[in-house]
Each structure stands twice: as C-alpha cells, then as structure tokens.
Structure 1
Amino acid sequence: MTKKSRFDQFGFQPFINQAIQKLGFFEPTEVQQKLIPGIMRGESIIGQSQTGTGKTHTFLLPLIQQINPEVKEVQVVITAPSRELANQIYQESRKITKLSEKEIVTHLLIGGTDKQRTIEKLKNQPHIVIGTPGRINDMIREKALHIYTARTLVIDEADMTLDMGFLNDVDTIAGKMPPNLQMLVFSATIPQKLKPFLKKYMENPRYEHIQPKVTASENVTHEIIARKSRNKLDLLKDTLTTFRPYLAIVFTNTKQAADEVADGLVERGLKVAKIHGDVPPRERKRTMKQIENMDYQYIVATDLAARGIDITGISHVINYELPNDLDFYIHRTGRTGRAGHTGLALTIYEPADEDKLNQLEKMGITLKHVDLKRGEFVEVLDRNRRAKREATREAADPREIGMRKKAKQKRKPNYKKKINRKMAEIKRRENRKRK
C-alpha cells in the first residue's frame, strides 16, 4: 500500500503530485506548510530560513502549478546569486516540469555560457527564467528576454545577493516587471542594507521566520583553543600544519578577514584557496575545479560564499572567528563528519567569545579544551574551572569558609582535615538538637 502524501492538501496538478512522489517527499517541511498556500494566493512573502529547510520546493511547486503552458511568455523569474545555486534550482525545476503533458519551458541564464546561443534560444520566450542577476540583465539589455509579462519574481539567498554585489542588478530586473508583481524573497538573514530594497518593492509583505531545527552532527568532535597572547595567524598556521588534514576549511565572518587570513597563510608558506563574494565567478569556478582535483589542502571562506557550494572530503573545519549567528556554527561544522566519516571542528577563541561558547554548550555541544604544545595538541583544563570552583565554594557552609580562611592565614598544618572533622562534629550536634 502506497503511503499517502500530505502534499495532497495543496491541491496540486497530477503531474506535480507525481513529481513529489518521485522525489520521495511525503511530509511538507515547516516552511512549505506555512508558505505554499500564501504563494498560491499570490501573496508577496519574505521567508527567513536556512539552507536545508526545503525552501527551493516551497516556491517551485506552487509557481509551476500556476504556469499556463498555452501562453508562450515569461511568467516567473527566479534569481540566485551564484551559477552553482541557479543551476541547482534549474535542475530541481526540470524534475517537476518534465512530467507535465503540456510543455513548460524553463531556461537557465548564467554566465560562462555562449551568449549568442542563449539569445538564439530566447527567440521563443520561456515560461520560467532561472539565473544569475547579471546574465538575466544582459538578456534584457539585448532585448532578447521580455520579463514585463512575468507575474512573480523570486529572489533566492537575498543576503548572499547583497553580499556579492548583485542587488542593483536585481533592482533593475524588478523595475522592468509589472507594478502588481508578486515578490518572494528567501534569505538566511535580513541585513539592514537589504531593507530599503524590500521596502521599495514590497508593500506590507508577509514575513515568516522559520527557526532551523538543526543539531550538531554526532560524528564531529568540537574543540576550542585559546588564542592567549599568540599571533592569531601564526596559531592558525601551526594548527593547520599539525592537523595535516585531508581538506580543511577555515571560516571567517567577513570578506576582508578572509582576504587577510588567506594572504597571511600564503605568506607563511601554505597553498590556500579562497571563496568569498568578491571573488569573480570565473575565478571561483576555476578554484572549485582545483579543489575537486585536490590541488588545495586548505580553503578560506565566508559563510555566505560557502553556502550552496558542496565541497566533499572536508576533514577539518576551523572557526577563525565564531559567527555572530550561532546557527551558522552548526552549518559550518556540519560540512565535516559526513557520509559516516568522523570530522573535527576547532575554534580559536578569545575572552570576548565567552558568551557564545556558553551558548554553544547550552545547545548541547560538548567543547573539548585543547592547546598546542611542542607541535601536538594536548587536552587542557576547562576554561570555566575557576568559576565552577567558586560556585562550589559559594554553596558551602559559611562557617566552613570562615574557618578555612583563618587557618590558611595562620598556615596551620593539616588544616583541611581538622576543619572537616570540626564541621562534621558541628553537624552531628545540630542533628541531635533537631531530634
């Protein structure tokens, strides 16, 4: 007996239900449950959710449902900030549209492909356009792509679009679309610099923040090392060379920090690949190819640039800086320890990181304290041992604390044993009185 799909509630066309079954989906994710009905009603929506929550099918399924194959014009435009992400969305859309009896035409518009051939293909306008903002704009400027007929614009990974400098291109695309446009924006974070753009095109949009239900992989060991007074780049270089990783990825919070770390490691004699928003697409593609060919043992990356790029074989993840949003810690460290393999995540921390480390421990992550001594990692005492010792003392009997203090000042021999005996005698007398 076939398991009944809970996607039936959305009333999709038979070919879409068939695609859902082939994809092995039975239970809609939280973001799908919350947003698909609104998308089908034509609402403009801001969906704040991380990668891996099912957001791609959240917009693909209802938008493909509403395509009219009889009308040979652009009906949906989907932008993604990188060629890799655009291609992933395109491949997922094809898995659905190919099952339709009436042809639904989808075109992928990304850089690195023959421009003239793309223009030729656009002599017949597609129903769905998926691509990078730059190449979509190219085709609009060439008067090859007509998007004024589209009713929906999807901006996927909006924060990454901003980070990689493509927001002006998206602005130009949106400006050429109808005023009653349905806009769907998906983003892991909503940076301040994104808000003016959203306000410009979205009047009272529905906002949904889907909290990620992610936990740290059980296959990953989490270690932390105190920077102390050491040069941080020297410590990082020593850490990497001591690990001798199969492939290590070092995470920074900003593009500027990624540049500084990559340059610093090169100066210290390491061969390093770099992935962030300011790395040109052609160079990024070449770097990814070299990583696949194992030309690099070390990668330096930002969260946004690394998102959506699948790099296999990562044995070590190094947090050069702890992310401000600790959900990203889970995503970073989840890049190792995959497919049954074990992995190691190490964080270089400073006193200012104490709150974040405490939060990680509250999230159920066990942090092993290590240090680098004479070219090898050794386990060291918990950074909170003093605070924990003081907490134990605070819980002690005040009379005992007073006795210990006096005895310590007078330097009496065996004072600890004597105090313990005295306290035991006091407590026995108190118990007898209570009886």
Structure 2
Amino acid sequence: MGPPLTESTKSFSDLKLRKAILKSLEQEGYDVPTPIQAESIPHIINGHDLIGCAQTGTGKTAAFSLPILSFLDEDRRSAKPNCPRVLILSPTRELAIQIGESIQTYGRNMKFRHAVIYGGVSQHRQTKALNRGVHLLVATPGRLLDLMNQGFIHLNELEIFVLDEADRMLDMGFLPDLKKIIKTLPDERQSLFFSATMPQKVSQLANSLLVDPIRVEVSPNSSTVENIKQVAYMVPKNKKRDLLLQLLEDSNFGSAIIFTRTKRGADLLATKLHQGKIKAEAIHGNKSQAARQRILNGFKTGKTHILVATDLAARGIDVDGITHVINFDMPQEAEDYVHRIGRTGRAGATGIAVTFCEPGQKRGLRDIERLTESQIEILTNTFQPLQGGANDQDTRTEDELRDPRPQQRRKFQRKEGPTSSPSGERKFKGRPGRKKFNKSSSESSESSFGKPRTKKPFKGKPKRKPKPARRPGK
C-alpha cells in the first residue's frame, strides 16, 4: 500500500517511490513533484483507477510512469514474449517517443525491458523486441492493432493500462480503434486515464473504461496565469507576417513554436521566414517520420530555434526551454489554446504566449479568457512594415493563394501629353522599328494581293444519299 495523500507532500521521497527511481530523479535534478504528480502518484501506487485532468506541461508523463516503474521494480518477473504487463497508448508517434525516452530516463537504475511501437517505419525492430519480451509497451493505436492482428501482441496478461491525451485521441478519430483495443483487455486490471480537457465524449469513454476512479484535476489557469504572460495583437490578416517578422527580429527569443491552422499554412510561413533570413522548420503530418524526427532533434539541440507547427503535430513536442508560443492563427477551439501555450512555462519556468487576433475573432479571444479564467493583455499594433527581406516578396496570405481574386483596374484618366490629343482622344504609339499602321478604306477592303477578301458561304454538310432498296431474293 502506498502513502496517503497529504498536503505535506513536498518531495518525491514523501511519495515512497522505490530507491532506484528516487536515485534517477536525483540524478536528473528533480526534487519537488508538480501538483498533478503529488496528487496522482499515491492513488496509483494504491492500485486505484484514476482520471487525471491537467494540461500539457504539468508533468503528466511522470505522474503515471513513476508509480508504474515502482510497481515493476517491486514485483520483478521475467518478461514474457509478446505479452506486456503495462500498455501506454499515445495519440501520436512523437508523443510515444517522448514517453519512451522519459521511461528510459526514470528507469535507468532498474532492470526491465520496454519498447515503443508506432507507424510510419518498418515493424521489423518492433516485432523483434516484442518476440524477445517487454515489461512495458508504449504504442500508438494504429500500429498496436496492426501487430495484434498479426499475432505479435497479446493483452490477456495486461496489468496496467494507460490512456494518455484522451481528448486528442478522440479529436484524431481513434475512437473506433480504442473500442477494439479495450475489448481485448482483461477485466482484472488497473486503468489510468489522462486528458487535458474533459468534454462529454471523453467523459463517456472514461466511464466505460474505469471502475470507481479517483479524479485528480489541476485547473488550467493555475499554470497559465502564474508562469505564462499572455498577450494578443489585434492585426489584419494581411499584416500578420509583417508583425511576426518584426517580433522575431526585435524581441529576445530563445526558442519559439509558431502555430498555424493548416499544414500548407505552416509550409508557407516557414518559407517566408527563410526569405526574411530567419531559420525555421515546419512540422506536420504530411512529413515523413524520419523528417519529423530530424526536425525535432534539431529543435532540441538548438540547431533550429523556430518551429512552425500544426496542433496535431505539436502534441509530441516535449522540449524544455521554449520561451515563446505564437498563435499565428487563432485556435479553432479554446481548449486548443490551452494545449498550445502549455509548450512554454514548463516545470516552473516562465514563458510568453502571443496571439494574433483578426478583427472578426474577438469572440474567440473572450472564450479563451473564460476557459482559462485569465485576462489576456491586448496590445496595439503600431508597427511599421519592414523594408526588404520577405516583405518585398509575395505577401499574399494562404487563403489568397488558394482563391486568388483579380485586382481592381485603375480608372483611366485622360492627360494632356504626347499620347493624347487636345480633343481628349487617346493616340497609341506603335512599337519602335515597325511601320505605322494607317487604316484606310482601300486597305481594309483588300488583302496584300489587291483582291477583295470574301467569305465563302457555308453550304452545310452534304446530305447522304439513301441506300437502294434490296431486291427480294438477294
């Protein structure tokens, strides 16, 4: 049995985790648990089902991985081929990789085996690890079902099931896959359910999965208000790029994530930043797994400081030291705003969230303030368009490129000069080196051979002659 939940929990040692895990946390410099960790870990150690509702960046991964590793270290057994004891489901490949890296870090002083499986790459290494046997498996739904159908994974001996980022799972359309996976789980198990938001569909899924769960909730405003400065610029759509370039040049940016609404918009914006001599990389679902991993590694190591991303692609980005989050396009839902700005202000650090709000999007800004229970500072856009760089290039927005409209023609104004007569009639100059064309009645009625040009009358299609009637007997 684990320790009871008390308000005096001030360090990880108070949570009675195994010594091997405490040693790893000490090596990483982690002393004090976050609120979601302090409240969740004791209940998980006690074996309860749990609903954890907290935004990204609050330490949810450690909240479930630390007690799970402690459980595996306490009840040591040999790993059985193709039969994991723990399954952690993640909505994206990037997030699955991040969870696997965290588990590797926290369990460095333990003897256990784990694997991370996801689509977009060859399954050979993954199936090889499964055949050898793993204690803990991190997976995305699609690849998990695929390998289950091939007979490489059996969940009949599963002891702990974790569903991470449940709200995003449903947003990405994984509900049918989740139902298929849940049907194969044994009845005797511990289930942990983590989500940043809790809409009705997510609550219904949790009720079908959990038994008498403990609910742990960390309000979104506790993190956003204290650690993240939130500002918004009221800016027309066709001026957002100019404003972004000025902010990136004038502000003290360490590293930043810029959010766009579409994949094409991310590519266009990254290209414009390159033209403005600002190194940036776009990351979204249309890029290959190898390309996405290369971009993420470059962002982690500091090779790239600016990342342009869509909402879904950014779910797996768990990088410390992000100083700014810029909402180049306003999020479609207020909950997405919480996910976005959670990329900065992590682990007690401070961050800045900047939102570009178009004139017709003020209502969305009010919805965000209502959800986060905070007030976003509105800044007046008084910048001057930058000279040179990307501003001399094509400044059309993504929508204008998708649906170009012809520009209005300028009204013709008659001016006195060499190309106009006193009567106001416009005279056209011929091209240099060519003879002047003088229209006359004779020239207009005759060709260069002196013969009148006549049009042959159209006689129409000739009628077909009727076939002769057949004679009888032939």
Settle same-fold status: TM greater than 0.5. Answer: yes
Given candidates 60, 69, 74, the residue that maps to 2:76 is 69
Partner of 1:162: 170
Task: Output the CA distance in 1 between the equivalents of 2:187 and 2:247.
Answer: 56
Partner of 1:187: 195
Task: Output the CA distance in 1 between the equivalents of 2:371 and 2:54.
Answer: 20
Task: Output the CA distance in 1 between the equivalents of 2:372 and 2:217.
Answer: 24
**Conserved 8 A contact 2:266-2:283:** no
Task: Output the CA distance in 2 between the equivalents of 1:200 and 1:281.
Answer: 33
**Conserved 8 A contact 2:234-2:381:** yes
1:72-126 deviation line (CA, Å, top 9, x unaligned): 33211111122222222222222333323xx322122233444223222322321
Q: Identity across aligned pairs (percent)? A: 27
**Conserved 8 A contact 2:269-2:308:** no
Report the CA distance between 1:142 and its aligned residue.
2.0
Is 1:214 matched up with 2:219? no
1:321-360 correspondence to structure 2 within 5 Å: 321=330, 324-325=334-335, 327-328=338-339, 330-331=341-342, 345-350=354-359, 351-353=362-364, 355=366
Relative to structure 2, which stretch is displaced further, 88-97 or 286-295?
A: 286-295
Give the letter for the 1:331 counterpart: G
Task: Output the CA distance in 2 between the equivalents of 1:269 and 1:65.
Answer: 46
Give the letter for the 1:237 counterpart: R
Partner of 2:45: 40
1:122-165 deviation line (CA, Å, top 9, x unaligned): 22321111122222223222212222101111111112222333
Given candidates 146, 150, 154, the residue that maps to 2:158 is 150
- Relative distance call for 1:299 and 1:14 in structure 2 (3 A) is closer
Partner SS for 2:381? strand
Task: Output the CA distance in 2 between the equivalents of 1:364 and 1:354.
Answer: 10
Partner of 2:108: 98
Q: Structure 1 regions of 5+ residues with no counterpart?
A: 377-435
**Conserved 8 A contact 2:233-2:380:** yes
- Relative distance call for 1:357 and 1:80 in structure 2 (3 A) is closer
Report the CA distance between 1:181 and its aligned residue.
2.5
**Conserved 8 A contact 1:125-1:145:** no
1:201-251 deviation line (CA, Å, top 9, x unaligned): 224422221124324698978351244xxxx2x232343455565887543
Report the CA distance between 1:56 and its aligned residue.
1.4
Give the letter for the 2:106 counterpart: I
Report the CA distance between 1:269 and its aligned residue.
11
Task: Output the CA distance in 2 between the equivalents of 1:215 and 1:72.
Answer: 42
- Relative distance call for 1:85 and 1:373 in structure 2 (3 A) is same
- Relative distance call for 1:83 and 1:124 in structure 2 (3 A) is same
Partner of 1:108: 116
1:396-435 deviation line (CA, Å, top 9, x unaligned): xxxxxxxxxxxxxxxxxxxxxxxxxxxxxxxxxxxxxxxx
Relative to structure 2, which stretch is displaced further, 176-185 or 119-128?
A: 119-128
Task: Output the CA distance in 1 between the equivalents of 2:380 and 2:242.
Answer: 17
Task: Output the CA distance in 1 between the equivalents of 2:105 and 2:373.
Answer: 41
- Relative distance call for 1:328 and 1:173 in structure 2 (3 A) is closer
Q: Between Structure 1 and Structure 2, which shows a larger proportion of helix residues?
A: 1
Partner SS for 2:131? coil
Relative to structure 2, which stretch is displaced further, 36-45 or 364-373?
A: 364-373
- Relative distance call for 1:269 and 1:77 in structure 2 (3 A) is closer
Partner of 1:401: none
Partner of 1:79: 89
**Conserved 8 A contact 1:216-1:333:** no
Task: Output the CA distance in 1 between the equivalents of 2:142 and 2:288.
Answer: 12
Matched residues, number: 358
Relative to structure 2, which stretch is displaced further, 172-181 or 195-204?
A: 195-204
Task: Output the CA distance in 2 between the equivalents of 1:362 and 1:46.
Answer: 22
Partner SS for 1:317? strand
Task: Output the CA distance in 1 between the equivalents of 2:160 and 2:227.
Answer: 41
1:228-285 deviation line (CA, Å, top 9, x unaligned): xxxx2x2323434555658875435xxxx42574588699998896555687756644
**Conserved 8 A contact 1:51-1:308:** no
Task: Output the CA distance in 1 between the equivalents of 2:340 and 2:298.
Answer: 26
Normalised TM-score (structure 2): 0.62
Given candidates 134, 152, 158, the residue that maps to 1:126 is 134
Given candidates 224, 229, 254, the residue that maps to 2:233 is 224
- Relative distance call for 1:19 and 1:348 in structure 2 (3 A) is same
Report the CA distance between 1:184 and its aligned residue.
0.6
Give the letter for the 2:77 counterpart: E
Report the CA distance between 1:310 and its aligned residue.
4.8
1:370-398 deviation line (CA, Å, top 9, x unaligned): 2455659xxxxxxxxxxxxxxxxxxxxxx
Relative to structure 2, which stretch is displaced further, 148-157 or 159-168?
A: 159-168
Partner SS for 1:352? helix
- Relative distance call for 1:72 and 1:152 in structure 2 (3 A) is same
Partner of 1:370: 381
Is 1:317 matched up with 2:326? yes
Relative to structure 2, which stretch is displaced further, 152-161 or 281-290?
A: 281-290
Relative to structure 2, which stretch is displaced further, 346-355 or 169-178?
A: 346-355
Given candidates 23, 30, 33, the residue that maps to 2:28 is 23
Partner of 1:138: 146
Partner of 1:426: none
Is 1:57 matched up with 2:62? yes
**Conserved 8 A contact 2:90-2:139:** yes
1:219-258 correspondence to structure 2 within 5 Å: 222-227=231-236, 232=237, 234-243=238-247, 249-251=257-259, 257-258=261-262
- Relative distance call for 1:274 and 1:118 in structure 2 (3 A) is same
- Relative distance call for 1:147 and 1:261 in structure 2 (3 A) is same
Normalised TM-score (structure 1): 0.67
Partner SS for 1:214? helix
Task: Output the CA distance in 2 between the equivalents of 1:361 and 1:196.
Answer: 23
**Conserved 8 A contact 1:29-1:53:** yes
- Relative distance call for 1:220 and 1:209 in structure 2 (3 A) is closer
1:284-303 correspondence to structure 2 within 5 Å: 284-285=292-293, 288=296, 299-302=308-311
Task: Output the CA distance in 2 between the equivalents of 1:330 and 1:41.
Answer: 33
Partner SS for 1:224? strand
Task: Output the CA distance in 1 between the equivalents of 2:123 and 2:54.
Answer: 34
Q: Which is higher, the Rg of structure 1 or of structure 2?
A: 2
